[in-house]
Amino acid sequence: MEDVRGLRVVYVSHCVLNQNSVVRGLAVRRGMLSEVVGVLDGLGLGVVQLPCPETGYLGLKRWWQVKDQYDCVGFRKYCRRLAEEAVSLALEFEGNGVRVVAVVGIRGSPSCGVRETSTGWVGGDPSKAGRSVRVWGMGVFMEELEKAFREAGLSVPMTDVDVSRLKESAAELREFLGRLV
């Protein structure tokens, strides 16, 4: 039997493959973001599911938060540990001929946003939190992941998908990844 592996993988934020990890009330699918998975499958890419730092750190009963809350020493250290584990696997892949093509995050996420993250609440009474706002920049986990890749000598392009416009975002992802594969 011939080995037909494609030798290319993409790292994806946990909730791309498991919407059950998303803060209660924010999941947009029952299971996975099939639009994104379809793009990856169509390009013949393997998928590495990153851990969900928010669920791992605060659990499923957490409140929604913005980057302002997650941008603290303890959460950064936790994200750094997860990032180092992800990079160790990437080095194993790369050292054995499997290219890490890209990282795909979640636009607007305080942890996994790549192009946009969220801000808008600096603490206090959550009933007075108001609305969060998307701003340019990375979430905490993606910042730590990018730094860990760079320190390991790996240049891995990063992008994110917007769950509020999945069809358009999947088309953008197909174009982005198509330039890389």
* 24-64 pLDDT per residue, tens: 999 999 999 999 999 999 999 999 999 999 999 999 999 88
pLDDT at 141: 98
pLDDT at 109: 97
pLDDT at 62: 93
pLDDT at 125: 72
Phi, psi of 11 (to 5 degrees): -85, 135
Neighbours of 154 (CB within 10 A): 14
158-160-165 Cα angle (round to 5): 160
pLDDT at 50: 98
Tokens 């305080």 appear where? 110
DSSP 115: S
3-state class (DSSP) for residue 56:
helix
Q: Which portions of the chain are predicted below pLDDT 50? A: none
